[in-house]
Structure 1
Amino acid sequence: MPGPLPGAALVLRPSLRRYLSTVKWSLLPIVVLLAALLFRGGGFGAVVSLIVIALASSIGPAWFRRAAITVTPSELAVTGLVRTRRVPRDAVGSIVTAALPRTHKNSRSLAHLYVLDRGGRRIARMKGSRWVEDDMRRLIATLGVETHKLGRLASPRALARRYPYAVPVLERYPVLAGALVVVPSVAAIFAISLEFSS
């Protein structure tokens, strides 16, 4: 794991505690499905369940240990699971903050922060499910660029209308993101039912 950059003015890391407290209920159906596969899915179900559990228990904590946003006098570095993206600090154009609902428009909103370049493209973001608001405020103060505070928005798509390069496609179209989860899950359930029927 790389250490902080030389002369780092600020190093921020996501909060695993925050993440677990905000997603615990949405993870419950997945945990129940994995438990059912493990104990009632036969050999195939047990293998699938153990693979998913092993991947989740290794990749998730590894990301939280490695991920960071680092600000130095000369650059902004965003470290993810695999790589670190560095941009000159003077490439940062603005910051946008918004409160976005977790699931549907009437659900609880969480603060999100987007660091954009001068062309409006996303350099970094802090999702409210993983980052605490105090760290968002520290990043705003450290970067010292123009900040647009949008308040509560109905959805990520509403943010994308104003800042089209800030929001990833899968967040703009949650139906597509849901299909990427549901279709493989249905396929796995179908494969398990075939295993039982043979």
Structure 2
Amino acid sequence: MPKLTPSLNWLLVFVPVSLVAEFVFHQPVAVFISSCIAIVPLAGLIGTATEHLADRTGPTVGGLLNATFGNVTELIIGVLLVWAGEFEVVKASLIGSILGNLVLVLGASYLAGGLRHIRDGQRFDAKAARTHSSSLLLAVVGMVMPAVFTLVALHETNAQTEVISLVVAGVLIVLYLAAGSGPPRRGSRATRARSGRRAGAPGARSSCCS
């Protein structure tokens, strides 16, 4: 008899429920509750997909993809709030997301990893750690620069602050794309597959005979 594994995918039924509550019954409370429940399995599917991508591309690109799709909810909410002019809510959402990822998620990961590898200790990929640390530092600098300009400049205008914010945002996006476009990590599945194809190609030298 096959073993049944617990799954939360059945909660996906709340996706059409939220759509019906929004467009048919126009019930904001029902939309909010059903959408919150539907996010749970969707987040799990996103995490599973990024794990498979990380297995093929390496921890650096996989970590960036995980960070991107893991925060897609905040990204969508932020875009909609900016479009609606709710800038203070966007700032609060960004602060909450940063604190949640840096304090709650990181601390829980360290705790779970320490309990899992309590005997042999945790091991981290040095390249991925450097990439994520540099990205975090650049993100902090990018968020601080407009605030410092507002505090230091004597006769700044909203247009000048917006220009600086747009320039910083563009630089951060370019750096993010540059960090995610690196070559696959040595030892990843994609690299091993290419090495295997080269080893099996006609005329390739075998390592045991070299």
- Higher share in strand: 1
* Greater C-alpha Rg: 2
TM-score by length of 2: 0.29
TM-score (ref. length: structure 1): 0.30
Name the one with the larger helix percent.
2
